[in-house]
Amino acid sequence: MYPSRFRYEAPRSIGEAISLLSEGGDEAKVLAGGQSLVPLMKLRFASPELIVDINNIPGLDYHREDPDGTIRIGALCRHADLERSALLTSRQPLMASAAPLIADPIVRNRGTLVGSLCHADPQGDWASVVTALSGHLVARGPGGRRTIPMTDFVTGPFQNALAPDELAVEAVIPAPKGTLAGGYLKLERRVGDFATVGVAVALETSDGTVTRAGIALTGVGGSTISATEAAEELVGQPLTAQTIAQAADLAAAAARPRTDHRGSAEYKRHMVRTFVVRILSRGDGEAAAAAGGNRAANGDAAGSGDGASDGSDASGGTERAA
Amino acid sequence: MTIVYEDRGDEATSDVPVNRIRFTINGQKKIAEVEPRLLLSHLIRRGLGLTGTHMGCDTTNCGACTVLLDGRPVKSCTMLAVQADGHSIETVEGLSGQSELHPLQEGFKQEHGLQCGFCTPGVMMAAKALLAANPSPTEDEVRWALSGNLCRCTGYQNIVKSVLWAADKLRSSEPPASEPPASEPSGAESRASAG
């Protein structure tokens, strides 16, 4: 399969990229990792007239932590960089658990987090992660730079809030105020498939009390769902079997799954509930058992990272977690 | 090294944008003239005649087209050829020396790691990158590293054994960590024209 014809430009600076985008208007498209855009172009779902390849712009492949704890991910930071990141492993449990679950290992060598957010696939994993973390994107355009909260960034399936002449240059995860916890769990039929269900939970606690919570859901609605009621239920509370069960029920209620070849709506809703319980119960097996998480006796059973399914809940696919 | 396009009559050939790229493939320096929409897999197979890189699904799923870009496995059907400018590519043809099989190739032979063989070149390139980064992988690590490569014949058992066999062989063969010699020293740049 071939993409339709286009003009190709590979600018060496952000400024140059922005002027090319201004020139191309609606017909221009930014190419970063290309792991979604190139397939779409081959299938002719996208036929841009101008491709602005940003891979030759130096200094965009970073991910780093500011002195205050803010984490910044540049537009050319690949999923594989995040998967191997010592910074995320030690400082950002939710992102560290999601990175190895994006697509497959070969795709992760090219694809980027910022590109994934811009692609705005309703089943994109990173969108849920960054939503749960209350992250935002930084865009650069002819008029300077602006910050767009993740919750405002996605305007519809495969649509984002960027103007045609704006380039998303980095994703920003705000500094935590309490102790960080949380994680991402994903149910998929096989490695590299889109999520049947994905659940991202970001948690900050202080002296055993939840001070901030974010819960976002992948694959169970027309776009990423922010389960705000479920998250708010946790704030100000300790994590107990009861509070966990309440949050899980609210998250399941927020899901709007549809029955398809990946599973029934009922099954997906059940998995949302189960995943919320599992993530919140890590290190607290008793609470999870009481809350009805039937894997909770294992505590962190989902953390084996080998992609194995225990066949109990994940009967329609493989649950992966790292 | 020519790629022939259909003459649609309505498009003047002068309107077809062509970019000149320089890249290294299996140790040889090349220059190519490519239309930007040419995929890397097509440059490799048609432009360079290296048909060891297979096209399977053409939709970024199967990994049969996996090659190494600056040492990292990528799906060559999901990259534009023009993006190879300034980079180094390695395909399955670059694995073996003049006469000897690469330990990975030998491993697939010894452990019966292939049946139809269609996925094998992509699997071996992904495995090569794994062994370069991790000379002593566990079985789980091999399975994880190859999870982007689909095989419809073997059930993966013998593929995993083959990669572990190669890991053993590479560890036991003399000075470790020394790169195998490039397939041939190329003084003159050969010129590749495509598009």
pLDDT over 70, % of chain B? 81
A32 half-sphere exposure, CB direction, 13 A CA radius? 26
User: Which pLDDT does position A63 carry in this prediction?
Assistant: 98
Q: What confidence tens digit (pLDDT) does each residue in A132-146 have?
A: 999 999 999 999 999
Task: Using the CB atoms, write b or e for A124-139: b if 16+ within 10 Å.
Answer: bbbbbbbbbbbbbbbb
Test A105 with B145 for CB contact under 8 angstroms.
Answer: yes
Residue of A104, A121, A194 to mutate, interface with B, max B Cβ within 10 Å? A104
> Which stretches does DSSP call E strand in A40-120?
50-53, 63-65, 71-74
Determine the distance in angstroms separating the CA of A134 from the nearest CA of chain B, rounded to an integer: 31
Same domain as B118, residue B86: no
Residue B2 domain-assigned?
no
Same domain as B79, residue B36: yes
Other CB atoms closer than 10 Å to residue A16's CB: what's the count?
16
Q: Which domains does chain A have, with CATH numbers?
A: 7-56 (3.30.43.10), 63-173 (3.30.465.10), 179-320 (3.30.390.50)
Of B19, B58, B74, the CB nearest to A106: B74
Test B73 with A5 for CB contact under 8 angstroms.
Answer: no
* The residue to which tokens 């081959």 are assigned: A42
- For A35, name the nearest residue in chain B, comparing CA atoms only: B78
Between these two residues, A202 and B16, which has the higher pLDDT value? A202
Quote the tokens at residue A313.
């809940």
pLDDT over 90, % of chain B? 77
Test B72 with A35 for CB contact under 8 angstroms.
Answer: no
Supply the CATH number for residue B125's domain: 1.10.150.120
Q: What confidence tens digit (pLDDT) does each residue in A266-312 have?
A: 999 999 999 999 999 985 444 444 444 433 333 333 333 333 333 34
Same domain as B120, residue B85: no
Same domain as B45, residue B17: yes
Between these two residues, A169 and B177, which has the higher pLDDT value? A169
User: Which pLDDT does position A1 carry in this prediction?
Assistant: 86
**Residue B52: domain span:** 13-94
Q: A30 falls in which pLDDT band (50, 70, 90)?
A: very high
- Where does a domain end: B94, B126, B142? B94
Residue B136 domain-assigned?
yes
Same domain as B74, residue B28: yes
- Where does a domain end: B65, B94, B123? B94
Residue B193 domain-assigned?
no
Rounded to the nearest 5 percent, the helix, strand and coil shares of chain B are 35, 15, 50
Residue B177 domain-assigned?
no
Same domain as B117, residue B64: no
Cα–Cα dist A38/A6, whole Å: 12
User: Which pLDDT does position A125 carry in this prediction?
Assistant: 97
Q: Please tell me the total count of domains within chain B.
A: 2
Determine the distance in angstroms separating the CA of A111 from the nearest CA of chain B, rounded to an integer: 10
Residue B84 domain-assigned?
yes
User: Which pLDDT does position A286 carry in this prediction?
Assistant: 43
The CA-based angle B53-B134-A198, given to 5 degrees, is 75
Residue B184 domain-assigned?
no
- Judge whether residue A257 has pLDDT over 70: yes
Mean pLDDT estimate for chain B: 87
Q: What confidence tens digit (pLDDT) does each residue in A66-96 have?
A: 999 999 999 999 999 999 999 999 999 999 9
Q: What confidence tens digit (pLDDT) does each residue in B29-83 have?
A: 999 999 999 999 999 999 999 999 999 999 999 999 999 999 999 999 999 999 9
Contact by Cβ (8 Å): A140, A114: no
> Is the CB of B39 inside 8 Å of chain A's CB atoms?
yes
User: Which pLDDT does position A193 carry in this prediction?
Assistant: 87
Same domain as B54, residue B26: yes
Test A106 with B66 for CB contact under 8 angstroms.
Answer: yes
User: Which pLDDT does position B153 carry in this prediction?
Assistant: 96
* The residue to which tokens 């790292």 are assigned: A322
Determine the distance in angstroms separating the CA of A284 from the nearest CA of chain B, rounded to an integer: 27
Terminal CA-to-CA distance of chain A, rounded, Å?
35
Burial degree of A206 (CB within 10 A; 0-12, 13-18, 19+) = exposed
User: Which pLDDT does position A140 carry in this prediction?
Assistant: 98
pTM (predicted TM-score):
0.87
Same domain as B107, residue B63: no
Same domain as B74, residue B118: no
Mean pLDDT check: name the lowest of B12-16, B108-112, B144-148.
B12-16
Same domain as B117, residue B89: no
Between these two residues, B143 and A291, which has the higher pLDDT value? B143
Supply the CATH number for residue B83's domain: 3.10.20.30
Chain B residues closer than 8 Å to A5 by CB: 16-17, 35-37
Residue type, A105: P
Residue B5 domain-assigned?
no
- Judge whether residue A157 has pLDDT over 70: yes
Same domain as B110, residue B81: no
Residue B18 domain-assigned?
yes
User: Which pLDDT does position B190 carry in this prediction?
Assistant: 41
- Judge whether residue B128 has pLDDT over 50: yes
Between A265-280 and A241-254, two packed helices, what is the crossing angle to 10 degrees? 150
Q: What distances in angstroms separate CA B176 from CA A2, B102, B135, B166, one per listed residue?
A: 42, 14, 9, 13
